[in-house]
Amino acid sequence: MVRNSGLSCPAGGYTLEVSSVDDRLELDTDRLIVAAAVTNLLRNAFKFSRAGSTISLRAREVPNAMLRIEIEDECGGLPPGKGEDLFLPYVQKGADRSGMGLGLAISRDGIRAGGGELTVRDLPGKGCVFTVELPLARPNTLAEDAASPS
């Protein structure tokens, strides 16, 4: 998904950890919108994390026929009670004001249009985890395969 995104990160010795994903998982939504949202989240993670940080990208199937994608950064955390404010248009929380403050609002709208949700969870003193949940095209693929005799 991120391979053709034009994603780049600033100098600073960042590490990107990417979990393996079952290639049988298939989304029931516009892949370009998902790719744009995930790319925006990764760009923000690099932009707001401290030099030398590790950024994690994880994806897995979760109950209710959903795919969960998590991007974890090391931005230092959010001010208490300010997580939802990040998704408002023109809101910027970091010292780097190089954008317009629209990326998270647009990403959330796109994910919601595809039947999903984009949320943030604060890791006080460490960073944030942005979570995208989207419907799978073929629910319970992994559960059915695990139950089948080999």
Binned at pLDDT 50, 70 and 90, residue 3 comes out as very low
Report the pLDDT value the prediction gives residue 98, as an integer from 0 to 100. 75
pLDDT tens digit sequence for 40-87: 999 999 999 999 999 999 999 999 889 999 999 999 999 888 889 999
Longest dimension (CA), the chain: 55
The parent domain of residue 52 ranges over 15-147
In a domain, 7, yes or no: no
In a domain, 48, yes or no: yes
CATH number where 48 lies = 3.30.565.10
Report the pLDDT value the prediction gives residue 92, as an integer from 0 to 100. 75
In a domain, 6, yes or no: no
Tell me how many domains the chain contains.
1
In a domain, 2, yes or no: no
User: Is pLDDT at 88 greater than 50 in this prediction?
Assistant: yes
In a domain, 96, yes or no: yes
Give pTM, 2 decimals: 0.83
pLDDT mean over 120-130: 96
Distances (CA, A) of 91 to 61, 88, 103, 135: 31, 6, 10, 28
Angle between helices 103-113 and 31-48 (to 10 degrees): 150
Report the pLDDT value the prediction gives residue 149, as an integer from 0 to 100. 59
pLDDT mean over 136-144: 63
Report the pLDDT value the prediction gives residue 58, as an integer from 0 to 100. 97
In a domain, 4, yes or no: no
